[in-house]
Amino acid sequence: MEIRKIRLNNVGRFTDLEVAFAPTEKHASKVTVFVGNNGAGKTTILKSLATALSWFVARVRTDKGRGSPIPTEAINNSANTAAIFILISDAAHSNRSDYYWTLSQSRQGRAASAVSELANATELAGNYRYHWALVDENISLPLVAFYPVERSVLQIPLNIKKSNKKVDQLAGYESALGGGVNFASFFEWFRDREDSENEAGIPLNVLTHLKSTFESDKKFVNELNRVQNASRDKQLSAVRSAVAFFMPGFNNLRVQRSPNLHMAIDKNGETLNVAQLSQGEKSLMALVGDIARRLSIMNPALENPLHGNGVVLIDEVDLHLHPKWQRSLIQQLTATFPNCQFILTTHSPLVISDTKDVLCYVLDDGELEERNGLYGLDANQVLLSVMDTDARNSEVQDRLDRLLDLLQDKNLKEAKALFEELSADLPPDHIELTKAALLIRKLELRSA
């Protein structure tokens, strides 16, 4: 499933906005990124997508299912009716591939100027439902997930409940559209899968003991390894490998039973309780773990469930992330989840300068502009050209500019005074000051 296009009429600050999403003819990747100032409308676009898609999700469950309405506060203040039009392409279980629907909402007691038309959502969802019921109970469902900014409030449960819930593919949609990342259900799921993994194989502590006791018997150890790999839970392995790929140095995510039940992970050889990780580490692990878990649940027949398809919306994708992680984020997302379409917003120049073929939009005051050729720009250039922000504190920049002007005018006396002032304020190895020092030296030599 891929989103081709959305159109917003009187939603939030937009009176009429149409947006196309990658892949497009010019952008082969499956990644669209929105950048823009606060209040530009980025979140409005993601929320509208989530709202429109919620009707598809509800109708995979049952054909009369109801998704989320457009909230009244999202209706543009100068209008009485808001409408979201969405165009989806999905050829999974039918010859047809284009589906579109419109969701509308009017203020109470006001005449509606648009009506909802959801027949295509019902039909598309129906394709999956019928195929599931009649043809293939191991059908893959398309992931649809929205990670809002509030996802950062991560609650780590003190006890990990045993859920014993029967999990079918639909569980992959549970609170996927705005609930945020829920560590509690992640841990519950992880514990259940690990329990059944342990039941199916030899318990890890027994294995470790056997392997060290019979270390010299290579044949026996190989056989133990084979049994261990064969009993590995495919879904857990997928989640573990996704987390390990995004967070080098971290591995062996697991539930530890003593002294008390908790989630543990090894960081560069040291075992840590997940609760002890930094906010950035927790956020990334929760985000990646959640996408991987949902894909695993929704693609029971795939050899690698991370290759399942779907749509993932992430608001402020750089939230809490170290610059090093921001830079590689898109590449890692697309490498780990190659069949997912990503629609992201960001404030970080690092996120967008490192990936080719990404469709990047700048939102400015409700106006949308496509920006190309950002690949390989350094972070300063992106700040200047896309985010309309000076790379430096503007007061410092003004003084540096004045210093250059003085040097060009060969006004050595004033230049040196300003240079002294700036040297007191800036670090000794400041690149512009070093350049200025050279110019001053040159002028001095010339005038001597």
Ligand X SMILES: Nc1ncnc2c1ncn2[C@@H]1O[C@H](COP(=O)(O)OP(=O)(O)O)[C@@H](O)[C@H]1O
Q: At what angle do helices 218-230 and 204-213 cross, to 10 degrees?
A: 170
* Cα gap 424→417, rounded to integer Å: 11
Q: Strand ranges (DSSP E) for 139-235?
A: 143-147
| Residue 362 near ligand X by CB under 6 A | no
In the chain the first and final C-alpha atoms are separated, in Å, by 73
Looking at beta carbons only, is 128 or 361 nearer to ligand X?
361
Rounded to the nearest 10°, the torsion over CA 403, 409, 413, 419 is 10
| Residue 371 near ligand X by CB under 6 A | no
Looking at beta carbons only, is 83 or 224 nearer to ligand X?
83
* Cα gap 175→70, rounded to integer Å: 17
Near ligand X in 8-47, by CB under 6 A = 12-13, 36, 38-44
Q: Please list, in sequence order, all residues whose beta carbon lies within 8 angstroms of the beta carbon of residue 390, skipping any fewer than 6 positions away.
A: 383, 384, 397
Strand pairing of 31-36 and 359-364?
parallel
Piece in contact with Mg ion (CB under 5 A), picked from 35-43, 87-95, 403-411, 432-440: 35-43
* Cα gap 188→176, rounded to integer Å: 16
Contacted by 38, from Mg ion, ligand X, none: CB < 5 to 8 Å by type: ligand X
Q: How far is the CB of 253 from ligand X (least distance, A)?
A: 32
The residue number whose beta carbon is nearest to Mg ion equals: 43
Looking at beta carbons only, is 57 or 319 nearer to Mg ion?
319
Q: How far is the CB of 72 from ligand X (least distance, A)?
A: 9
Looking at beta carbons only, is 80 or 423 nearer to ligand X?
80
| Residue 77 near ligand X by CB under 6 A | yes
Q: How far is the CB of 50 from ligand X (least distance, A)?
A: 12
Q: How far is the CB of 170 from ligand X (least distance, A)?
A: 30
Binding pattern for the stretch 42-71 against ligand X, x by CB under 6 A and - elsewhere:
xxx---------------------------
Piece in contact with ligand X (CB under 6 A), picked from 73-81, 166-174, 389-397, 422-430: 73-81
| Residue 43 near Mg ion by CB under 5 A | yes
* Cα gap 412→406, rounded to integer Å: 7
DSSP label of 231: T
Whether the CB-CB separation of 314 and 260 falls below 8 Å is answered with: no
| Residue 80 near ligand X by CB under 6 A | no
Residue with tokens 């590689």: 328
Whether the CB-CB separation of 5 and 20 falls below 8 Å is answered with: yes
Give contact residues for ligand X (rule: CB under 6 A).
12-13, 36, 38-44, 73-77
Give contact residues for Mg ion (rule: CB under 5 A).
42-43
